[in-house]
Structures are given as C-alpha cells and as structure tokens.
C-alpha cells in the first residue's frame, strides 16, 4: 500500500474546547503524520467554496456559519492509505453512529459539530490540500 496524503480540519467545536492537541495525538497514534498545519479563521467565502458540493443540502448554510464560528486547524496528513486511515480514525459523520475509539465518538457534539473533517478520496484530498495549503507549507 502506498504512502499518500489527505486533508484534515480540526473544526471550531474542537478548538473551542482546547482539543487541538488531543485530536492531533489520536491522528498520530493512528499512524498519520502531520506534514502541514495552520490555525486559521475561515472566511464565509472559503467555507462556501470548500463545501460547494453540499450547496443544495438543507444544512449548507448552518454548516458554513458553524465553520466560520471560531478558529480551525487545517492540516495535511501523510501515511499508508491516508484518506482511508483518517476516515477510520474519524468515525461516522453522525457521532451517534461512530465506532468506539474514534475521534467523533470521543469528542463530537452533534452531526454538525463533529470535531473533524477528512477528505473522502485521493482526488478530493489533492483539491482540498490545494484549496488551503500553499506548496511551501508542506514541509514534511
């Protein structure tokens, strides 16, 4: 299996509760390496662009409001089959459905405020990394 990269966001519900370190430790313990990391306050435009695929969904507006409600940490994670590994450690979108030991089961507040984002394919990982991370920020 190849070493690949994925894009991660530690969401505002988690930064508000001072969980940046705890969540990063879970990612690292799962075998992923943080090769880029930056704490930002997402603009409305950035949030709407990032979640454009969900534009027609009923939760789109609330989601963009939530994602701009506090700081987030945007990260690039590297490891064996990173997209899949990250999705495994994140857990299901709805924390009520997430497996024991996953980040969302452990920390998520709700289906919206679910603590972390992770890319869902190698193709989207590349798009999402390019959206938030400059090439010289991927320092390994």
Distances (CA, A) of 112 to 32, 52, 62, 116, 134: 24, 16, 8, 10, 27
**List 5, 11, 85, 117, catalytic entry:** 117
Q: Which is nearer to Mg ion, 9 or 18 (CB)?
A: 9
Question: Minimum distance from CB of 68 to ligand IDP (Å)?
Answer: 13
Q: Is 114 in the site for ligand IDP (CB under 6 A)?
A: yes
List the x/- string, 73-112, binding to Mg ion by CB under 5 A: ----------------------------------------
Q: How far is 29 from 24, CA to CA, in rounded Å?
A: 9
Question: What burial class does residue 81 get, using C-beta atoms within 10 Å of its C-beta: 0-12 exposed, 13-18 middle, 19+ buried?
Answer: middle
Could you give the residue numbers annotated as active site?
A: 117
């Amino acid at each position: 299996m190849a070493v690949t990269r994925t894009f991660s966001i530690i969401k505002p519900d988690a930064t508000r509760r001072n969980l940046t370190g705890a969540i990063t430790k879970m990612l690292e313990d799962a075998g992923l390496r943080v090769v880029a990391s930056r704490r930002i306050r997402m603009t409305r435009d950035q949030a709407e662009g990032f979640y454009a695929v969900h534009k027609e969904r009923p939760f789109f507006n609330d989601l963009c409001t939530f994602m701009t409600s506090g700081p987030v940490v945007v990260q690039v994670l590297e490891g064996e089959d990173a997209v899949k590994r990250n999705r495994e450690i994140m857990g299901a979108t709805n924390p009520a459905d997430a497996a024991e030991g996953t980040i969302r089961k452990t920390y998520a507040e709700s289906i919206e405020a679910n603590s972390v984002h992770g890319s869902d394919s190698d193709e989207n990982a590349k798009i999402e990394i390019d959206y938030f991370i400059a090439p010289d920020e991927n320092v390994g």
